[in-house]
Amino acid sequence: MPLRTQGEKPPFQHLTQQQKELLYEQACQFISDNKKHLLDRLAPLRTRHLTVVLEDIYQPHNASAVLRSCDCFGIQDLHVIQRNNPFNPAPDVAVGASKWVDYYTYPSTPHALQTLKAKGYRIVATLPHHNDQIITDLDISQPTALLFGTELTGLSTEAVNIADAYVKIPMYGFTESFNISVSVALSLFSLTEKIRRHPSLHWQMTHNETLDLKLHWASQIIPHGPEVLRKIAEQCQST
């Protein structure tokens, strides 16, 4: 169950920022103080500066582990290309992460990657390539979409050709590849630490995006959340 599909506007887009602030405060009456503190603490830590693109992952436990890693590292958006395989996270591994991470699905690789490029993302494929670099050396000043391929055959030629850069994780063993979920976690660990420690990079979401996110999260927690929020929003608009 994707939370939002590509192209869909976030709900409450039509409200002013002040109306959204009011809506959020009123919605928070329906959740515990602890939960509200959690939303207020975590939302400003989320980033869209870095995002993950999966091409045709087919094992549910891998899909779930990637969702979970995105949540753990504060990556808000996950983009999923479903060429042959539907994205189907296993609920026990994802531990509810699909509630907190937004994921977007695409029917084809060019569609996904061109959409992201149009939004200003640099597409970085994770695979050994004659032109690759070690992931820790990657320049992360531009918004970056990290692209991972399917379990058995890796990235499609199409994906490799559209990518702007290539990174690999240094390895010192007989085993020549990491499991996909481990690759994603290692890459996100390395790059999120780098962006968070960067002295001047604006990796955070805007105030308005953060507010939208908190509203979205609140609607996930409150029983019948979307409906409850819609009703409160109507009142906010009429006052």
Q: At what angle do helices 180-197 and 60-72 cross, to 10 degrees?
A: 10
Say whether residue 169 binds a second copy (CB under 8 A).
yes
Among 6-14, 111-119, 121-129, 189-197, which window interacts with a second copy (CB under 8 A)?
Answer: 189-197
CB of 8 vs a second copy, minimal distance in Å = 22
Number of residues that bind a second copy (CB under 8 A): 36
Q: Which residue has the tokens 């999923």?
A: 80
Buried-exposed string 84-97: b where 16+ CB fall within 10 A, e elsewhere? ebebebeeebbeeb
* CA atoms of 185 and 213, how far apart (whole Å): 23
Rank residues 155 and 185 by Cβ distance to a second copy and give the closer one.
185
Say whether residue 102 binds a second copy (CB under 8 A).
no
CB count in 10 Å sphere of residue 38: 14
* CA atoms of 65 and 155, how far apart (whole Å): 19
Among 19-27, 144-152, 168-176, 208-216, which window interacts with a second copy (CB under 8 A)?
Answer: 168-176
* CA atoms of 203 and 75, how far apart (whole Å): 11
Retrieve residue 135's tokens.
């992931």
Evaluate whether 84 touches 60 at the Cβ level (below 8 Å).
no
- At position 107, the amino acid (one-letter code) is P
Rank residues 12 and 203 by Cβ distance to a second copy and give the closer one.
203
CB of 14 vs a second copy, minimal distance in Å = 28
Instruction: Compose the 127-146 pattern: x for residues touching a second copy by CB under 8 A, - for all others.
Output: ---------x----------
Bridge partners of residue 79, in order along the sequence: 53, 104
* CA atoms of 3 and 90, how far apart (whole Å): 16
CB of 188 vs a second copy, minimal distance in Å = 9
Among 7-15, 22-30, 106-114, 163-171, which window interacts with a second copy (CB under 8 A)?
Answer: 163-171
Rank residues 93 and 228 by Cβ distance to a second copy and give the closer one.
93
Residues in 28-47 that interact with a second copy by CB under 8 A: 38, 42, 45-46
Q: Using CB under 8 A, list all residues that contact a second copy.
A: 38, 42, 45-46, 65, 68-74, 93, 95-97, 99-100, 136, 169-175, 178-179, 181-182, 185-186, 189-190, 192-193
